[in-house]
Amino acid sequence: MRNFIYYNPTKVYFGTGVNSQVGEIVGGEFKKVLLLCGGGSARASGVYDDVTASLRAAGVDFRECAGVKPNPVVSKIEEAIGIIKREGLEAIVAIGGGSVIDSAKGVSAGACYDGDVWDFYARKTKIARAMPFFAVATLSATASEMNCTSVIINEALGVKTGLTDNALFPRATFLDPSAQFSVSARQTADGGIDAICHVMETYFDGTTGVELLMEYAEGLVRSLMELIPAAIRNPRDYDARAQLAWASASALNGTTWAGHSGRGDFASHAMGHTLSVKYDTVHGESLSIMMPAWMEYVRADNEYAFTRFARKVFGVISPDDEASRGGIAGMREFFKSLGAPTRLRDIGVSKEDLPELADMTARVPIGVLRKLGREDILQIYRAAF
């Protein structure tokens, strides 16, 4: 186990009815805020009404910036920053899934900066100050509600990249599982797949001496594999939604990598982000395709973890080599059983596109368990085809 600093200052209000506390908590410190929303699901589910009613009751004035789209773009962040600066707003309340919360993080950094907000994502400068923001989480997937990462697309550059900075934790997160009764079967599956992949990205990164964390990770994956179908079977199953919400948050809130050599491998994520840039592929579906292909490519570099995973998660009892293959096949089958694509051709990618995908992904170094160059990346795309 490596040395580590564990830091997670986000205060989480979890459970039925917590969204009606937003006004009281936010209003304790701020009187003029930006409300950042997605494409309308929060209005349809009633979350928007609960939050705005509680803001009004607490005397919090708000301006709104709606229309953050899945695979969020930097131009929307710039629009929101403009509203904050023009109106002299003091804080941000984000209502939505990972895309809205990730955007709120960009807005929070950009609102306290005179330059171009993309400077942070391009690593040209560091965040000196960020505007406080609050998250009302409506989807179980990314754990953005409990971490300090923001993943954004720059449309002009054709890049999707992540920014991680301790200044970007939500001040507080409100997580009412019943606000997720309205999440579609497809989105429940995609979000759950993302959470499983977050656990696996860390699990397979090659760190040794972390059996405790491996047990924790295996438990998370096994639970997610039960909870996702349960929530799809009965979208209004409160306990399934609640446990799914906490499992997803736990999958990327720092608890799985404390003691690891870093924050995980995330090469599958990088290859998936390229699909989102080029084809607007939903994040979870980029992973149901890329993660098993990556696992097969690097399996020999961490036979111990791949074999152990197969045994502990899928109960595969066979010689090591066969077992580790069995674990990967099991995961691909599980993704398929949720209706997710597992091959590039399933989402209409053509074989001729693969070299360009490899070029786009190889612009920055990727991989921890194995460093992947352009040729490795191309081979993985080919295997995923």
User: 147 or 307: whose CB is closer to ligand NZQ?
Assistant: 147
| 207: contact with ligand NZQ by CB under 6 A | no
Q: Which does 288 bind (CB under 5 to 8 A by kind): ligand NZQ, Zn ion, none?
A: none
171 binds, among ligand NZQ, Zn ion, none (CB under 5 to 8 A by kind): none
Give the SS3 label for residue 213. Answer: helix
Angstrom distance (rounded) from CA 325 to CA 189:
23
Q: How far, in Å, CA of 113 to CA of 84, rounded? A: 12
Query: Does residue 143 interact with ligand NZQ by CB under 6 A?
Result: yes
- Smallest distance from ligand NZQ to CB 82, Å: 21
Q: Which of 42, 240, 244, 358 binds ligand NZQ (CB under 6 A)?
A: 42
- Examine residue 190 and tell whether it contacts Zn ion (CB under 5 A): no
Rounded to 5, what percent of the chain is helix, strand, coil? 55, 10, 35
The footprint of ligand NZQ on residues 238-267 (CB under 6 A) is 252
Taking CB under 6 A as the criterion, the residue among 19, 52, 54, 138 binding ligand NZQ is: 138
Cβ-Cβ contacts under 8 Å for 321 (sequence gap 6 or more): 303
Residue from 102, 190, 194, 285 touching Zn ion (CB under 5 A): that is 194
**Quick check: 69 and 39 in contact, CB under 8 A?**
yes
Helix/strand/coil for 286:
helix
Q: What is the DSSP letter of 296?
A: H
Residue pair 246/238 in contact (Cβ under 8 Å)? The answer is: no
- Report the C-alpha gap between 46 and 41 in whole angstroms: 9
> Can residue 50 be called a binding residue for Zn ion (CB under 5 A)?
no
Stretch that binds Zn ion, among 62-70, 187-195, 232-240, 295-303 (CB under 5 A): 187-195
Considering CB distances under 5 to 8 angstroms, the limit depending on partner class, which of ligand NZQ, Zn ion, none binds residue 179?
ligand NZQ
Contact 267, 366 (CB under 8 A): yes
- C-alpha torsion sign, points 103, 106, 111, 114: negative
What long-range pairs does 123-126 form, CB within 8 A, spacing at least 24?
126/165
Q: How far is the CB of 29 from Zn ion (least distance, A)?
A: 31
Query: 152: which strand partners?
Result: 161
Question: Binding to ligand NZQ by residue 106, rule CB under 6 A?
Answer: no
Q: Any idea how long the chain is? A: 385
* Residue 366 in tokens: 């990727």
Contact call for residues 137 and 170 (beta carbons, < 8 A): no
Instruction: Give the range of 19-27, 38-46, 86-94, 330-338 binding ligand NZQ by CB under 6 A.
Output: 38-46
147 touches ligand NZQ by CB under 6 A: yes
Q: Is residue 97 close enough to count as binding ligand NZQ by CB under 6 A?
A: yes
40 contact, one of ligand NZQ, Zn ion, none, CB 5-8 Å limit per kind: ligand NZQ
User: 54 or 99, CB closer to ligand NZQ?
Assistant: 99
For residues 136-153, one letter each, b for 16 or more C-beta atoms within 10 angstroms of the residue's C-beta and e for the rest, the string is bbbbbbbbbbbbbbbbbb
Candidates 85-93, 106-114, 192-200, 352-360 — which segment interacts with Zn ion by CB under 5 A? 192-200
Measured from the CB atom, is 52 or 147 closer to Zn ion? 147
Residues that bind ligand NZQ (CB under 6 A): 38-42, 45, 70-72, 96-100, 102, 138-139, 141-144, 147, 149-151, 179-180, 182-183, 187, 191, 194, 252, 269, 283
Residues that bind Zn ion (CB under 5 A): 194
